[in-house]
Amino acid sequence: MPRYRLTIAYDGTDFCGWQKQEPKDPALGGTPPPASKVDDSLETTKEGRIALRTVQAIVERAVREVVREPVILTGASRTDAGVHARAQCAAFTSHADASQGRGWPAERGTEPLIRAINSRLPEDVLITDAQLVDDSFEPIAGAKSKGYSYTIVSSPHRPLWDRRTVYHTWHELDAQRMHAAAQHLIGEHDFASMAALGHGRQTTVRTIHGCAVTSEPIEAPTGSFASQRLRIDVSGSGFLWNMVRILAGTLHEVGRGRLSSGDIPVILASQDRTNAGPTLPPEGLCLEWIRYE
């Protein structure tokens, strides 16, 4: 039974996140979701439910059509609605029963597998790599570190072409101040002050391996200050719910002068969410990579 690891890239704008979701049918008393987020072509596992458009559901359906068996696709990171990914990791096991015309035997190779799955995917999601892995490979438990980026456009003018993948702020930001503040986040800390309430984890202690803020000027009509694109790159052993978006919001407040670099250790020590910055919108966030042994 060969097991395959997929690397998946997607524009998360029109997805309800990675994880499959089947809320109660509004006709039976459920909360109506946005019409664009419902996918009537997806099958549900329980009667009286509707299927939301999620990356896991869409890719799993494509894999099932290719291997012609009811595989389960397990992903490494449960990105939220609107969050993007360059290298999400997921895995599935195929029974490879050639006599029944099912499965994907290892001898067929991974390049044809990539092409077959991609031919069944919509334009906002793409398989970029596939590898044959050991039967014991687990995308979640086996992940040793992850890297995210958060991109901010600081400009008196709203962005157009990349508006789906950046967060626009009308405030002038000081990238050097933000980078200096980011260094206080590196190391093992209790990040309770930078986690959404109801995160559901037993511990809020996490280790940040690196955090950097870089910037580059961008062309824009003249305004009250020069336009720039800032990118926050953060890597660590794992992240709490909304942690990177809150981290980015806190550094944003440093950049506009409402917080100082020295405030970061105080915020962490407080373990109080109200002391950190706002949770920035999902469109600027992207899962860049996941590393394994």
What is 1-62 written as a DSSP string? --EEEEEEEE-GGGSS-SS---PBPGGGTPPPPPGGGB-TTS--SSTTB--B--HHHHHHHH
Return d(Cα 55, Cα 37) in angstroms, integer.
11
| d(C-alpha 117, C-alpha 85), whole Å | 18
Q: Are strands 167-169 and 125-133 parallel, antiparallel or unpaired?
A: unpaired
Element (H, E) at 156: none
Q: Is 195 left (phi over 0), alpha (psi -120 to 50) or beta?
A: beta
- How many other C-beta atoms lie within 10 A of the C-beta of residue 202? 5
Catalytic residues: 80
For every residue of 115-138, DSSP letters joined together read: HHHHTTS-TTEEEEEEEEE-TT--
* Residue 202 token pair: 């037993």
